[in-house]
Amino acid sequence: MTRSTADQLGGQNIAAFLDMIAASEIGSALLAESDDGYNILVGSTTSHPLLFTDYSQHPNILSQACNSTAAGRYQLLHRYAVSYIASLKLPDFSPASQDAIAVEQIKERGAIPHILVGDFATAVQLCSNIWASLPGNGYGQHTNSIAMLQSAYVAAGGALA
């Protein structure tokens, strides 16, 4: 569950969309094994979760297996974290900052209006080039089905049109 309230994020549908992204990127088991995913490093598995403890900045740990610095609930790369933290004037890489960055990324894709009215499939499509686990991107990684994502979104309190 997001650390930011639905009101802070712009509504329950946005909070549910963030919870869906976390479920898609990290998986329910790892969310439970961590600080709701906020401290997860790329390459984690349920048998071997890789966690960081310092939220003062993005951990910038390169996974040799994935050749990636993705970290946190929304698996943000270090280079993007630095940029967003500066542009949004965030103090750190805390859960609240991670939520704010994810909302900004969703805004940049033009998906907020679709999320607010429950046009879930369109919102996922618009955001698919940000999160590799969402269907419709060309990253060549495992993607989750729209049915699984919609189920996670509804379970998190999201409303559909």
The answer to whether residue 40 is domain-embedded is yes
> How much is the pLDDT for 72?
98
More confident residue, 66 or 148: 148
Summarize pLDDT for 30-60 with one digit per residue, the tens.
999 999 999 999 999 988 999 999 999 999 9
Positive or negative, the Cα torsion across 79, 5, 8, 129?
A: positive
DSSP-assigned beta bridge partners for residue 76: 71
What average pLDDT does range 135-158 have in this prediction?
A: 93
5-9: long-range contacts (C-beta < 8 A, 24 or more apart)?
Answer: 6/157, 8/99, 9/99, 9/103
Is the pLDDT at 142 greater than 90? The verdict is no
Question: Is residue 87 included in any domain, yes or no?
Answer: yes
**8: how many CB neighbours lie within 10 A of its CB?**
15
Residue type, 102: A
pLDDT of 157 above 90: yes
Q: Which of 25, 33, 104, 108 is catalytic?
A: 25
Asked if 108 is an active-site residue, the reply is: no
Residue 21 lies inside a defined structural domain of this protein: yes
pTM: 0.96
Mean pLDDT is lowest, of 13-27, 61-75, 108-122, 135-149, for: 135-149
80 lies in some domain: yes
CATH no. for residue 120? 1.10.530.10
pLDDT above 90 coverage of the chain, percent:
88
Q: What is the pLDDT of residues 96-125, one digit of tens each?
A: 999 999 999 999 999 999 999 999 999 999
pLDDT at 138 (0 to 100)? 80
Domains in the chain, number: 1
Q: What is the pLDDT of residue 122?
A: 98
Q: Is residue 161 part of a domain?
A: no
Tell me what the mean pLDDT of segment 85-101 comes to: 98
Identify the domain containing residue 103 by its residue range: 6-155
In a domain, 71, yes or no: yes
Structure-model confidence comparison of residues 155 and 64, the more confident one: 155
